Amino acid sequence: MKKKTKKVDHFLSGLHEYVTTNPQFRKNTINKSEVHIQTELRPLIIQYLEKYFKDCGYKDYVGKANKSFYWEGQEGKYGRKRKTLFGSRNYPDFIITEPYLVAVEYKQSQNGSAVKQGVGQSIMHTLCEDFEFVYLLFHDQNKDKRIESSTINNTEKGVIKKIWSDFNVLLKFI
């Protein structure tokens, strides 16, 4: 498992903050498919990478951002070379290749079972060693945000902490 550093924490926290506070980020996803929301997330992630690489001093930060980003279904080396596990390949929704190899997963539901599915899928990404880290963004579609609100419970806090410390999966809710 890749060691976490303050730079990794800063990068992933910055990604989460940038995406979820962006005015273009859709807050209400009822009646919108995950594929639709993923299509909207793609430019936000690329914009974050552009900002990140610009702040790092890259002259062609736009080119660097685009070379460092891949989405599920895009042609190229990341689409073909996934390891097989239990008879299928791991395909995250998005892949950030630099500055860290990060799988990005997006899930949305009114059902907590979707969180467990997303966590399991994310853990497989790092256990297979295809990815160093995973950023899993879960959109709680309940009006009362009961799934997101449950994260204050000790059990949920412990699970979130453990999947980050043991499996490099950063789980965030909105």
∠ CA 13-101-116, nearest 5°, is: 65
- Judged against a pLDDT cut of 80, whether residue 105 lies above it is answered with yes
CB 96 within 8 A of CB 71: no
Distance of alpha carbon 107 from alpha carbon 127, whole angstroms: 20
Alpha helices for 56-153 (secondary structure H): 61-67, 77-80, 113-127, 146-149
Burial class (CB in 10 A: 0-12, 13-18, 19+), 4: middle
Residue 68: half-sphere exposure toward Cβ, Cα within 13 Å? 23
Count of structural domains within the chain: 1
* pLDDT band at residue 143 using 50, 70 and 90 as cut-offs: very high
Q: Stretch 109-118: mean pLDDT, rounded?
A: 94
Q: Say what the alpha-carbon torsion angle 91, 95, 98, 101 is, to the nearest 10 degrees.
A: -40
To the question of pTM greater than 0.85 for the whole model, the response is yes
Distance of alpha carbon 65 from alpha carbon 56, whole angstroms: 12
Tell me, yes or no, whether 1 lies in a domain: no
- Top-confidence residue, 28 or 88: 28
- Position 57 scores a pLDDT of 96
Tell me, yes or no, whether 148 lies in a domain: yes
Tell me, yes or no, whether 96 lies in a domain: yes
* pLDDT band at residue 104 using 50, 70 and 90 as cut-offs: very high
φ, ψ (nearest 5 deg) of residue 139: -100, 110
Tell me, yes or no, whether 20 lies in a domain: yes
3-state secondary structure of 153: coil
* pLDDT band at residue 172 using 50, 70 and 90 as cut-offs: very high
Percentage of residues in the chain with pLDDT exceeding 90?
77
User: Residue 58 has which token pair?
Assistant: 């890259």
CATH label of the domain that carries residue 95: 3.40.91
Tell me, yes or no, whether 113 lies in a domain: yes
Q: Which domain holds residue 29?
A: 6-173
Q: Stretch 19-27: mean pLDDT, rounded?
A: 92
- Top-confidence residue, 159 or 31: 159
- Position 1 scores a pLDDT of 80
Q: Stretch 145-151: mean pLDDT, rounded?
A: 93
pLDDT in tens, 31-89: 888 888 998 999 999 999 999 999 999 999 999 999 999 987 665 555 556 667 677 77
The full length of the chain comes to: 174
Tell me, yes or no, whether 111 lies in a domain: yes
